[in-house]
């Protein structure tokens, strides 16, 4: 199973998890997998996205926002992303995803 398949499987499982906390935990696991596979910038972007989500909502009442959901698209890329694209993926993930696909 390659990274894209693993991330897709995790994303699918995460979408069926019953609580937002479990979904965030799944995102942290995806970030750890990305880090282990050498995708350090992507892992950092996922981690920062999760932290921003936790900072903006009180514990137990947070919902995944569009930013984290769109990072899923970026996470499906087979290579690591540049630090600039990692930062862009936090604020404009759809744009980052398009830029990544244009370069392939």
Tens-binned pLDDT, residue by residue, of the chain (104 aa): 566 677 777 777 766 655 666 767 777 787 888 888 888 888 887 777 777 766 666 544 444 555 666 666 666 666 777 878 777 776 676 777 777 777 65
What is the pLDDT at residue 19?
65
| Domain residue spans of the chain | 3-103
> What does the alpha-carbon distance between residue 37 and residue 62 come to, in Å, rounded to a whole number?
29
Distances (CA, A) of 32 to 17, 35, 42: 19, 5, 10
Alpha helices by DSSP H, the chain: 3-15, 20-36, 40-56, 66-75, 83-91, 93-103
């Amino acid at each position: 199973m390659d990274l894209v398949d693993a991330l897709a499987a995790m994303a699918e499982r995460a979408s069926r998890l019953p609580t937002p906390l479990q979904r965030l935990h799944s995102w942290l696991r995806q970030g750890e997998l990305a880090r282990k596979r050498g995708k350090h910038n992507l892992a950092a972007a996922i981690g920062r996205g999760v932290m921003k989500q936790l900072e903006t909502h009180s514990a137990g009442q947070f919902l995944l926002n569009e930013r984290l959901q769109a990072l899923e698209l970026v996470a499906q890329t087979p290579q690591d992303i540049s630090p600039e694209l990692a930062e862009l993926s936090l604020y404009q993930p759809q744009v980052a995803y398009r830029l990544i696909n244009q370069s392939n």
